[in-house]
Amino acid sequence: MQTIIGKEERLNYAAELIRSGEVVAFPTETVYGLGADALNGNAVRKIFEAKGRPADNPLIVHISAPGQVNSVAQNVSELAFKLFQKFSPGPLTLVLKKAPAVPLITTGGLGTVGVRIPRHPLALKLIEACGRPIAAPSANRSGRVSPTEAAHVLEDMDGKIPLILDGGKTEVGIESTVLDLTKEIPVILRPGAITAKMLSEILPKVIDHKGEVIIAEAPGMKYRHYSPTKPCIAALDPESAAGKYDEVLSGGIIPVIIGREDFVLAGKRENHISLGKTVEECMSSLFSALRSAEKKYGYIILQYFSEPEYFSLDNRIKKAAGGEILGRTLQ
């Protein structure tokens, strides 16, 4: 199959493909998604095949307005509507009780469904144009870093899908916050740009009595994610990053340091990639920095922030580094 990349002028073609049971990659504000008709089991099966995704890892269903939630979920609470009103369209996925119309293949066999209203105009237009809820995981091959540009999707999906809708570089850069509302106390299954602190304006209980965030793990988080194809380690301070850099270099392998601008400048090593100055900039450039680093260098040293507002970013960094963090002081 030939994979083409098209801009907004291909929107109607994309909608037609989805209506006829095919898979199309499209941009959201977080990362690119690999979309198919969420209510068509055969179409959804093609997503799992193209990604090489384990069948027990549920997909997120994308809708374009809160009014559509009852077509994919049931017993939707007032609280869910309040959250949608406050944070949608935007990077928040709510786990709700599944409606019978949603096939089990979409939800990885679960009785619940993740629902989200993306903010990217092309995503919203696509959902409206095809008139269906769109099931979409991130458009990377399973285990790879999520794509934040159409070219990243092509790297992973060339020949596997007919069309990639190109909406430019994604704005947020890491995947949506997944919040499970089917438990007595709402639980964050995957941290993202909508933080526990932001949610706590509406949901005081997402923070427990000790002031700690209640976090569990989404089914998909048990798989190794975000793994670059080169060895990767995280470092807490520029000195330990530079020390590792020198050690790797003396072994004949070319390393790179990736981090916030102040971190890579303090590391004072030739090969470095600055993610930017703010948490938003760092989020939006992490995945593309990882993809370019693995092509050019033999070893990746990533800044681990350990600052509260970088919590969601650290979550992805820890996964990329396989949990290995240099410079951690033991207490």
Alpha helices in the chain (DSSP H): 11-19, 41-51, 78-87, 121-130, 150-157, 196-199, 238-250, 261-267, 279-296, 311-320
- Binding to ligand TXA by residue 110, rule CB under 6 A? yes
178 exposure class (CB count in 10 Å sphere: 0-12, 13-18, 19+): buried
d(CA 230, CA 299): 6
Q: Binder to ligand TXA among 120, 132, 190, 260 (CB under 6 A)?
A: 190
- Binding to Mg ion by residue 176, rule CB under 5 A? no
- Cβ 317 vs Cβ 234: under 8 Å: yes
- Binding to ligand TXA by residue 215, rule CB under 6 A? no
d(CA 309, CA 271): 27
Task: Give the x-and-dash track for 254-283 against ligand TXA (CB under 6 A).
Answer: ------------------------------
Q: Binder to ligand TXA among 95, 233, 258, 289 (CB under 6 A)?
A: 95
d(CA 198, CA 212): 14
Residues in the interface with Mg ion (CB under 5 A) total 1
Q: CB neighbours of 224 closer than 8 A, spacing ≥ 6?
A: 143, 319, 322
Q: CB neighbours of 140 closer than 8 A, spacing ≥ 6?
A: 51, 146, 147, 152, 153, 156
The partner in contact with residue 273, picked from ligand TXA, Mg ion, none with C-beta cut-offs of 5 to 8 angstroms by kind, is none
- Binding to Mg ion by residue 138, rule CB under 5 A? yes
- Binding to ligand TXA by residue 58, rule CB under 6 A? yes
Nearest residue (CB) to ligand TXA, 186 versus 259: 186
Task: Give the x-and-dash track for 21-50 against ligand TXA (CB under 6 A).
Answer: -------x-xx-x-----------------
Q: Which residues are at the interface with ligand TXA (CB under 6 A)?
A: 28, 30-31, 33, 57-60, 91, 93, 95, 107, 110, 112-114, 116, 118, 136-138, 175-176, 178, 189-190, 218-221
Q: Which residues are at the interface with Mg ion (CB under 5 A)?
A: 138
